[in-house]
């Protein structure tokens, strides 16, 4: 039944529904860590900063989090806007989020469902009283004398922004890994990330996320203090707690121990002197003093969780590598810091890199030619990691000791295109279809049964298939590279295991040809098969016929039948 409502009635209804949902608890997965939060933590963060709040996890939303995203997307919370995983304030003049958040916080504090508050971020006061002029090597702020160095003079023959591309199996990742070892042979660090269609700027650079906070660890400094607190919060009598803490306090603040116990317990207990003898009196004065000030002391009680949730800036692989490189750039011995991006074109790179795209344009010293403006969140994070005032980081550049290398397979289906402006900021290296074949030449395996049995060299079979695909006008980037089958299947120093080879050939090579590279030419390519219409039937015939499932242009390249005597996996007697 449809009921006509006014705009005011609609807002009131949404407000009621929102209030009823404030006790709901949501969970997302962040790098394998379950993060639990509620809407109040979102309100707190929005009131503390102007930045959007990210409620995306590393995995697909499930359960209550999916309900929350659907609800926010439908606009049922009048205080929040939701778009593509991030939440912002509606800024409705008729609604006061700050007042509403106070009511929610009070309500949650009276219930058992309170999950967490939000860390309050304070601006760091600059203690500097001198200014420096900026130049090409440094980023400076007139309020601080500290200089941020970008030009270290680090020298290498490797390009700083580099993409290796080619057909599947040509050894792109292997090449980058080999060059990585050369780059870092004298020190430095690297991080590897793989792009995928749902990868975002928040994943790559960083964003605010709910994170686990150990309340005891953060509020209590030393291990001794945490040990004392553990005893105080334990489910023991006041006398048992006193006896356990006596040794810790007897050489110093023994007279204060009854007061401390009074903050946590109403029970009576006997006290002792430093020499271990019983003290006179019933400690009621000290204990009652503790009880009296209990309501006015910000205590950690056993009713609060040991681990809480707070919104913190969580850096992505780019920002982690960037901070390490920049820290090192301030030293006298600069080292390289490398970020490796696998499958860079499987994500929308324009969206993932965002404004970082501008930093990829490097000058002759391999420092970013143009700086970018940073958000308040990034300023605070950099100040926390690198020191100084957040305003020093209003603009940033990539230093010359930071490298970004990537692999790209343009043959993959469903990849995102790269625009020319993005491409021109990278050095592209193409790996030819046969560039890495030298270590697999001569590696043979026995295929087929009976009259169809042949000793087949994998590299020759691969080339024969590629030659046939080229006759079908298949692009070069869809041909088979030498390592289309991994080194585990075609080892460089050991014989090929026929059983493993046949199983992998069916699941990788035949599948790839059937579903992708030769999809429109199945009838021609698999001319030797009786049934060319289904993948399973081709695999079954491959076990019997070996190379004779293929067109004659391929099978005729292997005329010699396999000898009947015992052979090792590489064809040697």
Nearest-10 crossing angle of helices 238-249, 257-264: 150
In whole angstroms, what is the distance from residue 413 CA to residue 433 CA?
19
Contact criterion met (CB below 8 Å) for 141 and 391: yes
Q: Which one-letter DSSP state was computed for residue 204?
A: H
Q: How far is CA 209 from CA 296, 317, 385, in A?
A: 32, 15, 18
The predicted structure's pLDDT at residue 463: 94
In whole angstroms, what is the distance from residue 542 CA to residue 549 CA?
6
What are 60-111's pLDDT values in tens digits?
777 777 778 888 888 888 888 888 788 888 877 778 888 888 888 777 766 6
Contact criterion met (CB below 8 Å) for 242 and 271: yes
Contact criterion met (CB below 8 Å) for 463 and 547: no
Q: How far is CA 217 from CA 41, 213, 234, 473, in A?
A: 20, 8, 16, 64
The predicted structure's pLDDT at residue 126: 35
In whole angstroms, what is the distance from residue 306 CA to residue 286 CA?
28
User: What residues in the chain have per-residue pLDDT under 50?
Assistant: 1, 113-146, 216, 299, 302-306, 565-573
Q: Is 531 exposed, middle or buried (0-12, 13-18, 19+ CB in 10 A)?
A: exposed
Q: Is 300 exposed, middle or buried (0-12, 13-18, 19+ CB in 10 A)?
A: middle
The predicted structure's pLDDT at residue 117: 31
Select from 255, 261, 270, 271 the least CA-distant residue to 291: 261
Q: Is 34 exposed, middle or buried (0-12, 13-18, 19+ CB in 10 A)?
A: exposed
What are 239-270's pLDDT values in tens digits?
888 888 888 887 777 777 888 888 888 888 88
The predicted structure's pLDDT at residue 12: 59
In this prediction the pTM is 0.57
In whole angstroms, what is the distance from residue 382 CA to residue 396 CA?
10
Sign of the CA dihedral running 390, 395, 399, 403: positive
Half-sphere exposure of 542 (CA within 13 A, CB side): 21
């Amino acid at each position: 039944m449809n009921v006509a409502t006014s705009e005011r009635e609609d807002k009131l209804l949404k407000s009621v529904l929102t209030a009823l949902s404030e006790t709901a608890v949501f969970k997302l997965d962040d790098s394998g860590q379950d993060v639990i939060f509620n809407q109040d933590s979102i309100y707190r963060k929005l009131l503390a900063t102007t930045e959007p709040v990210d409620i995306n996890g590393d995995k697909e939303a499930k359960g209550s989090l999916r309900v929350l995203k659907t609800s926010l997307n439908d606009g049922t919370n009048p205080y929040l806007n939701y778009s593509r995983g991030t939440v912002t304030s509606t800024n409705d003049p008729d609604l006061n989020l700050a007042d509403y958040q106070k009511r929610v916080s009070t309500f949650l504090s009276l219930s058992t469902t309170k999950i967490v508050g939000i860390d309050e971020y304070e601006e760091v006061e600059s203690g500097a009283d001198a200014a420096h002029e900026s130049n090409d090597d440094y980023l400076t702020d007139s309020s601080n004398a500290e200089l941020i160095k970008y030009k270290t003079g680090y020298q290498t023959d490797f390009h700083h922004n580099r993409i290796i591309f080619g057909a599947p199996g040509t050894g792109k990742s292997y090449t980058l890994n080999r060059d990585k070892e050369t780059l870092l042979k004298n020190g430095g660090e690297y991080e590897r990330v793989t792009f995928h269609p749902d990868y975002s700027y928040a994943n790559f650079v960083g964003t605010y996320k709910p994170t686990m906070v150990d309340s005891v660890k953060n509020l209590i400094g030393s291990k001794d203090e945490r040990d004392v607190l553990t005893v105080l919060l334990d489910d023991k009598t006041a006398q048992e707690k006193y006896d356990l803490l006596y040794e810790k306090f007897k050489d110093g603040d023994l007279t204060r121990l009854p007061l401390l116990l009074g903050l946590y317990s109403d029970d009576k207990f006997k006290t002792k002197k430093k020499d271990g003898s019983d003290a006179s009196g019933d400690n009621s004065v000290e204990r009652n003093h503790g009880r009296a000030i209990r309501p006015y002391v910000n205590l950690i009680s056993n009713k609060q969780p040991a681990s809480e949730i707070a919104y913190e800036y969580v850096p992505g692989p780019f920002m982690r590598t960037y901070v390490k490189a920049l820290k090192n750039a301030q030293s006298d011995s600069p080292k390289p810091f490398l970020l490796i991006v696998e499958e860079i074109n499987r994500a929308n790179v324009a969206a993932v890199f965002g404004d970082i795209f501008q930093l990829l344009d490097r000058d002759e010293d391999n420092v970013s030619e143009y700086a970018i403006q940073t958000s308040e969140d990034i300023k605070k994070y950099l100040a926390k990691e690198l020191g100084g005032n957040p305003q020093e980081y209003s603009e940033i550049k990539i230093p010359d000791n930071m490298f970004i290398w990537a692999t790209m397979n343009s043959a993959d289906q469903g990849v995102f295109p790269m625009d020319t402006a993005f491409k021109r900021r990278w050095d592209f290296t193409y790996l030819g279809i046969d560039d890495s074949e030298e270590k697999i030449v001569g590696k043979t395996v026995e295929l087929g049964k009976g009259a169809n049995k042949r000793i087949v060299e994998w590299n020759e079979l691969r080339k024969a298939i590629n030659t046939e695909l080229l006759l079908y006008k298949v692009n070069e980037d869809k041909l088979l590279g030498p390592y289309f089958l991994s080194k585990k299947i075609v080892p460089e120093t050991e014989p090929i295991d026929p059983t493993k080879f046949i199983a992998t050939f069916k699941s990788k090579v035949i599948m790839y040809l059937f579903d992708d590279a030769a999809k429109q030419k199945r009838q021609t390519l698999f001319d030797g098969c009786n049934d060319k219409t289904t993948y399973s039937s081709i695999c079954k015939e491959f076990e019997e016929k070996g190379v004779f499932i293929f067109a004659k242009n391929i099978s005729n390249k292997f005329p010699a039948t396999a000898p009947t005597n015992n052979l090792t996996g590489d064809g040697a007697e």
